[in-house]
Amino acid sequence: MAVRAVRGAVQLERDEPGHMDEQVGALLTAILERNALTADDLISIWFTATPDLHSDFPAAAARKLGIVDVPLICAQELDVEGAMPRVVRVLAHIESDRPRSAVAHVYLGAAAALRKDIAQ
């Protein structure tokens, strides 16, 4: 079993805890489903949020999905002028037999524009 990394992102419409839970939950669910993963396959997850998001921790959405024994960490994304606002990014480390080229990176909604080269 190899260690792989899965990327993903979602743009929120507004900075509200319930909306963040919903959107980050949808992102994590899509990452798991598209890569045929369960919570047992997760090693750790890094979340970043743009500086305009401060209503909640993105990792809280993972805990609400039942991802409770996986190390999670949140950080603030760089404040780059002109960058897409209200974005939560994910970097999940996983155990998988998939080759690196078969890992499905997930960019939902408008966030697909961030990585057209790897978005599935």
Rounded Cα gap, residues 118 and 69, in angstroms: 28
pLDDT tens, position by position, 38-51: 999 999 999 999 99
pLDDT of residue 115: 77
Domain locations in the chain as residue ranges: 2-115
User: Would you place residue 120 in the very low, low, confident or very high pLDDT band (cuts 50, 70, 90)?
Assistant: low
How would you label 39-75 residue by residue, b for 16+ Cβ within 10 Å and e otherwise? eebbeebbbbbbeebeebbbbbbbeebebeebebeee
pLDDT surpasses 90 at 28 = yes
Report the chain's mean pLDDT, rounded to a whole number: 95
Better-predicted residue by pLDDT, 117 or 114: 114
Query: Given this structure, which CATH class describes domain 2-115?
Result: alpha beta
- Positions at the binding site for prephenate: 7, 89, 107
- The annotated binding site is made up of 7, 89, 107
